[in-house]
Amino acid sequence: MYRMLIVDDEEIITDGLMDIFSRLDIELDLYKAYSGVEALELLNRTRMDIVLSDICMPAMDGLQLMETIRWKWPQCKIVFLTGHNDFQYIYQAIQVPGVQYILKNEGYSKLIEAVQRSYDELDNDIRTNHLINDATEKLNILETLAHGDYFRYLIHESPARQALSENFGRLNISLNSELPILIVHGNLVNTDLDYSYSERQNIALEVKFLAESFLSERTTSIGILDRYGDVIWFIQPFQHMTEGSTISFEQTVMFLEGTFELIQQACMSSLHISISITLSNEAIRWESLSAAYDKLRQLQHMRPGDGTSMVQSVCLLNSLSCSSTDSVRDQLLGSKLEALAAHLEGGRQKDFIKLFEELTTYSVVRGRDCPYLTEVYYAIALMLLSYINRWEVQDKVGSFSMMQLESHRYWVDAFRLLRDHSEALFTARKCGEQKRATAVIKKIRTYIELHIADDLSLIRLADEMHFNPSYLSRLFKQEYGVNLSEYIEQSRIRKAKELLAVIELKISEVGMRVGYESPQSFTRFFKKLTSITPQEYRQFSESNTGA
């Protein structure tokens, strides 16, 4: 869902526009600000897709706000609404792509058309396949493969800084070896579609190319496919921008959080693929790349819920050391066992079973004393035991019998036991996702109850839960059955009714205690949900109590 911010220094206009657009059949997540400065605070916290703003405001006018929007969120569309018909204002506004200008006396129909046009432009930008085609044409596929091979090597090695710089130059890698990096892990969320290996690789490459068409607006980035088919991005902010300004890593993290939401929408619209994103919210030194990659994978697969449309920012520095992890295993068996573990972590049960059967294919024809099958059996058993202990599901998945190979007369029986345990682990994993999702919902509800008079915007709640607003909203609806905004309204109206029973409290005081500083806004909210005003409700309650 796209986000629209309405900005006007006249409260009655802002609230009126909020009311009008909330009733329209346009899927928009609406926000409001009563000044350019207040709007800027919101834009510093999250991405906005459409900004509907007055152009003449004190402290910061619409044109100044526009410059900030173009800098922070290049994809954002702007609609200026004003009664000021000065040609100079109009001329400056219409020179910028993605900006429209509507006079207030043109009426609401023209304004709605302008917003719908901006909405359609956003949709068109995301849906059209030219994003993928353009990116693919610009990138040399051999160079892409070379980058992938080299960065997969870096993930498991810690080369000297001098060697890093030399190799970057030889391979035409645009990243700066002297600066740290941000790492992003993109996991293609498991679907019921039976993709072949080549199809999965092609889809992951298309996701990589599509993402780079968005990331190139503000960053220098390299995207690769790791050995498990996930997409990994290595990102640095542009070092030189116009007018000598630079972008910090902190600003880049905010840009990535918002932009990867757009990338997710583009992947769903153009490729019909959902991708789950986990990104480091602090810059990582090249020497810590191996440990950072392993930790990022672990946090991605310990997500609450199924990960659809999730953008999760995590801190890695506290858990990293500068020492490198073990080198890449060259043995075929070792690689397949690692892939088996990755399928288990990623919840890809169909891929797990397919590889499991490939590893155990000789179990039907080989005799009982087969060193290869003994190694395979105990390697898989130990891997399963590791996840049973790590996920603390000993009560749901038995483990002791797995280590008693001698109790099985035939290999087929032994491996059938391992397969049964793996299926039980997949079931336990799904239950774990559900429990973590339930815990998040409980935390949200508790926070709402304790802060009913405070800012309960989706952005604020997302900050508290450390998830992007879209994922938090979707997770709440999926788990609780109602929209988060509806739940907040229900909680506030319930609390308002309780407080209205306290005669000593003025109507305005009740409104402030449920988050409405303006009595008019509280009255509109209360009447919208109950069809009567707060005063009428109080009188009705008093008469019933007296009767």
pLDDT at residue 111 in the model: 92
Name 210's Cβ contacts closer than 8 Å, sequence gap at least 6: 131, 132, 135, 263, 266, 267, 270, 271
Q: What number of residues does the chain have?
A: 547
Could you tell me if 37 and 81 lie in one domain? yes
Could you tell me if 109 and 159 lie in one domain? no
Could you tell me if 180 and 241 lie in one domain? yes
Could you tell me if 152 and 301 lie in one domain? yes
Nearest Cα to 507, choosing from 535, 528, 476?
535
Q: Looking at the domain assignment, is residue 153 inside a domain?
A: yes
- Please give the Cα distance from 295 to 297 (Å, whole number): 5
Q: Looking at the domain assignment, is residue 438 inside a domain?
A: no
Domain that holds residue 507: 473-546
Q: What is the pLDDT along the chain (547 residues), one digit of tens a residue?
A: 899 999 999 999 999 999 899 888 888 999 999 999 999 999 988 899 999 998 888 888 888 899 888 888 888 999 988 775 655 666 666 667 778 888 878 888 999 999 999 998 888 877 664 556 555 555 556 667 778 888 888 886 666 667 888 888 888 899 999 999 999 999 888 655 567 777 788 888 889 888 988 998 889 999 998 888 889 999 999 865 444 455 688 889 999 999 999 999 999 888 888 899 999 999 999 988 888 888 888 888 788 888 888 999 888 876 554 333 333 333 346 667 888 888 898 888 998 998 898 888 766 656 667 787 888 899 999 999 988 888 888 877 766 678 888 888 888 888 999 999 999 999 888 888 888 889 999 999 999 999 999 999 999 999 888 889 989 999 999 988 999 999 999 999 999 999 998 888 999 999 999 999 899 999 999 999 999 999 999 988 887 765 4
Q: Decide: helix, strand or coil at residue 430.
A: helix
pLDDT at residue 188 in the model: 86
Could you tell me if 263 and 156 lie in one domain? yes
- Please give the Cα distance from 249 to 263 (Å, whole number): 20
Check which CATH number belongs to the domain holding 81 and give it. Answer: 3.40.50.2300
pLDDT at residue 391 in the model: 81
DSSP assignment letter at 438: H
Q: For residues 233 and 211, is the Cβ–Cβ distance under 8 A?
A: yes
Total structural domains within the chain: 4
Name 149's Cβ contacts closer than 8 Å, sequence gap at least 6: none
Q: Looking at the domain assignment, is residue 295 inside a domain?
A: yes
Could you tell me if 356 and 418 lie in one domain? yes
Structure tokens at 545: 């109590």
pLDDT at residue 324 in the model: 37
pLDDT at residue 137 in the model: 52
Name 503's Cβ contacts closer than 8 Å, sequence gap at least 6: 538, 542
DSSP H/E element including 31: strand 28-33
Q: Looking at the domain assignment, is residue 439 inside a domain?
A: no
